[in-house]
Copies of this chain bind each other. A is one copy, B any other.
Amino acid sequence: MQEIRYTPIGTVRSPFLSPKNMPVQPLQGRGIKGKIEIYPEYRECLRDLDGFSHIIVLFHLHLSKGWKPVVRPHLEEMERGLFSTRSPHRPNPIGLSVVRLVSVEDWGMNIEDIDMVDGTPVLDIKPYSRELNGFEEEKNGWMKGRIGKLRDKKPY
């Protein structure tokens, strides 16, 4: 089986030092401020990003240990197939968060709506665009009507 190797481009700085009481999605982390420190060799890549209000952050869920094919999602009672959930315990533990970009600085970025633990290795930054990745007619399967719960129940 082919092995794929990546090297972090930066690190998350977050008020959450452990996953305990941490928001499980940016929706739960609205208003929580943090930073992404970008390593010097990648800082030039940040040019032109300051015009975007939101960015997609791909990160390595470095505290994830192993995975099971079926899991009980956060705040839920029924077990669901892993790929139908956002559980951090995945075969390839890559996290995806769309966060608010507050400012681009010479060391990286100030961000808001954090659901990442301090020290999380960052793999990639992409500009967010609803036009590219939004669908009005989506169906949400088992999540339908359950996401409000997440927004309303702050863990911190």
For the side of the interface on A, what is the size category?
A: 35 or more
Instruction: With a 10 A CB-CB cut-off, give which of A27, A42, A54, A124 has the most chain B CB atoms.
Output: A124
A83 near B126 with CB under 8 A, answer: yes
Known: A131-B140, A147-B131. A86 touches B7 (CB 8 A): no
Q: How far is the CB of A137 from chain B (nearest CB, A)?
A: 7
Q: Is A18 an interface residue (CB 8 A)?
A: no
Q: Is A125 located at the chain interface by the 8 A CB criterion?
A: yes
Chain B residues within an 8 Å CB radius of A1: 7-8
Q: Give which listed residue, B6, B55, B86, contacts A92 with CB less than 8 A.
A: B6
With A69-B44, A94-B124, A126-B86 known to touch, is A135 a contact of B54 (CB < 8 Å)?
yes
Q: Which residues of the other chain, B, contact A32 by a CB distance below 8 angstroms?
A: none
